[in-house]
Amino acid sequence: AVVAAWVLPEIVAAFAAYAYFSRDGTLNQLLGGLGFGQPDWLYSFPMAAIMLANIWRGTAFSMLVYRAALDEVPGEVTEAALMDGATGWQRLAFITIPMIRPSIATNLMLITLQTLAVFTLIWVMTAGGPANASTTLPVLAYQEAFKFGDIGYGTAVASVLILIGLVFGAAYIRLLREAKP
């Protein structure tokens, strides 16, 4: 289920998330079966539903990056630490994490930039509503340019989004340079 969210086209994953969080969706069916209340998640908690759907959508990518990074940690190093009496937490904190730090920084940069650009998931689930509660910069740029016909304002919003992405990208590139062993 985790990898499927990443492999599926974004529009399909968005419709699956919509079906899960909608008023008559899977989540409310499960909650109703357990005797709990059944809120309209997309109306009452739109950003929480979108964030959970986005986490579900991006988890597989992060899992693959971290699995590959962990495979590159030499077994001899962790074995030597074990022989020196290092606990599991010490091996994690002082060997594994420092050795995979570049992968952590790269993954963090990629998921941050991807999250800044989420549009389809939000548009399918809530279209920025209710009352703009789930409107993000990509949704606002789309609405202004194509729904309200103000191409200039939509372009300005998209430009701000690009600048925010550049700031995050520059910060992460700096972090990556510092992360090199």
Count: domains in the chain: 1
Distance CA 173, CA 176 (A): 5
| Parent domain of 86 | 2-179
Q: What is the pLDDT of residue 80?
A: 94
pLDDT tens digit sequence for 10-42: 999 999 999 999 999 999 999 999 999 889 999
Length of the chain: 181
In 3D, which of 51, 52, 27 has the Cα closest to residue 38? Answer: 27
Q: How confident is the model at residue 172 (pLDDT cuts 50, 70, 90)?
A: confident
Region 117-139 average pLDDT: 95
**Percent of the chain with pLDDT strictly greater than 70:** 98
Is 78 a residue whose pLDDT tops 70? yes
**Mean pLDDT for the stretch of residues 146-156:** 96
Provide the pLDDT for residue 162: 96
pLDDT at 179 exceeding the cut of 90: no
How distant, in Å, are the alpha carbons of 23, 116, 162 from that of 43?
9, 22, 29
Q: Give the mean pLDDT of 122-143.
A: 96
Q: For the domain that residue 67 is a member of, what is the CATH number?
A: 1.10.3720.10
Contact by Cβ (8 Å): 26, 19: yes
pTM of the model: 0.86
